[in-house]
A and B are shown apart, each in its own frame.
Chain A
């Protein structure tokens, strides 16, 4: 079982809609969770971090964490074409030495 799993997509949503991206992880004691955005040919950019169960909002982005279900999600409200990118979920393992990344979900926002 991969440590961090994401649906590779592509996920297609119309402009203005809510995009919902999901991620599951295998290490039950993981404590730190991150979402990165990666445009084609570019390096990943950190957009959200979450450490506690519940929701964390930052502008149009909301990260949701459920440690009991080992599930973390990212909601993007009022999606824009500029949000079209690959979104990477990343989780520190219990050892905490480095992040494990999922393969990423490709998001396409259509005008």
Chain B
């Protein structure tokens, strides 16, 4: 079944640790995104990618990096976690159409707590 997967679902980690949040999709979508969402707040774009070897920063500077070596895989890395990084991280993907922007399919999210 075509889907988008995020691991881990929950992560508690100490300050200063390096972490990678995983995101994979089986829908063959070219476009992938990372958003950050605090409880009751709006989604903020962190990074996006239009295809392999294409990555761009979004509006929210979160001191993170991404890579897109394979179409299906879009991991997010925090080099040094801080308590301010505590949040929910949502990965999404969408198809690329000629002259049409499609909606996203979201993964289940990773809830990160930095202590």
Contacts and interface: CB of A to CB of B under 8 A. Distances in A.
B45 A98 contact: yes
Contacts, number: 48
- Size band of the interface chain B makes with A: 20 to 34
A16 interface: no
A52 to B, nearest CB: 12
Query: What is the interface residue range for chain A against chain B?
Result: 20 to 34
B107 A31 contact: no
B63 interface: no
Contacts of A49: 102-103
Contacts of B35: 101
Given A43-B90, A44-B106, A102 B48 contact: no
A29 interface: no
A103 interface: yes
Interface of A: 31-32, 34, 36, 42-46, 49, 51, 88, 90, 92, 96-104
